[in-house]
Amino acid sequence: MTRTNDERAAIDIAAAAGELLLDHRKSLGENDGDVATFKRRGRSAQSEFIVAELARRFPADAVLSEEGADDLARLAADRVWIVDPLDGTREYGEAGRSDWAVHVALTENGVLTTGAVAMPALAVTYSSSDDRTERDAATPVRVVVSRTRRPEPVMRMADSMGAELIEMGSAGAKAMAVVSGEADIYAHAGGQYEWDSAAPVAVARAAGLHVSRIDGSELRYNQENPWLPDLLICRPELAPKALEDWADDRDTDAPRTTRSREHSHHA
C-alpha cells in the first residue's frame, strides 16, 4: 500500500507514544500506590511528545488534544490534528489489560482525512490507510459495550437485535473491535469529546464501516465545542436496524434524550 506523509506520521507518532506508555507502565508495580498520579503523568508526558512531534513535522498545523488548553485559533486552520494521548486511562492503570489506545487523527477543512489508533499492549496500530478486509457476518450480532457504563438506549438496541454483549474498555478499543471483526456494532450514547472518536472514526470509515451520530447525521470535527453526544460504528448492513431502534427509542422515551451533557469523556 502507498501511504501519504500524513498517514505515515499518524501511524509513527501513535505507535511511538504507545511504546513510551508501555515503558512507563512497567513502573506501575514499583509505584508508591498513587495510581491516579501514575496515569496522569503518563498521559501528560505522551501528550507533550505527540504535540512536539506534530509541531516538528507540520509546524503550520493546529492541534486539539485532550491535554492542554484549547486554542480556538484552530477553528480558522485548514489542518487540525485531533489527538488523545491515552484513551482508556482506567484500563491502562490495571496490570494485564490491553484495551487502551493512543489516537492521532487529522481533519482538513473540517473533514477527517487520516487516523491512526495504536493499541500498544497488543502491538498493533490500525490506520485509515490499511487495506480493507472482508468480515463474515456473525450470528448473533455482537455489540461491544463498556465495562462500567451501559446506557439504557444501547442496551435496548442490543436486546432488540438479540445481540451478544462483549465488554471492553476504551472507545478506541471498542471501535477497533468492530474494525477487526471481533464485534459488529459499537454504539455510544453517554457523550464523548472529539479526541475520543476522531481517529477511530477515520479508521472505521476507511475500513468500509458505517459511522454516524445515532440519528444518522454526520459526525463533525474541529467544532468550537468539541463535545459529541453520541456515536454509531457498525457493519453497513446493520446500520438501518440500529438507526431504526435508536429512532424508536427516542420516540417512545423522549425525556431520556434531554440528559445533562456532564458525562465522562471516555466511552
Which amino acids are annotated as binding site, given as ranges? 66, 84, 86-87, 196
Q: At what angle do helices 35-57 and 5-25 cross, to 10 degrees?
A: 160
Give me the amino acid identity at 112: L
* Separation between Cα atoms, residue 45 and residue 33, nearest integer Å: 19
Residue numbers belonging to the annotated binding site for Mg(2+): 66, 84, 86-87, 196
Q: Is 237 exposed, middle or buried (0-12, 13-18, 19+ CB in 10 A)?
A: exposed
Strand pairing class (227-228; 124-127): unpaired
Ramachandran category for residue 88: left, alpha or beta (phi over 0 → left; psi -120 to 50 → alpha): left
Q: Which three cell numbers stand for residue 259?
A: 440528559
Between CA 185 and CA 62 the distance in angstroms is 32
Helix (H) or strand (E) holding 57: helix 35-57
Pairing of strands 164-168, 62-65: unpaired
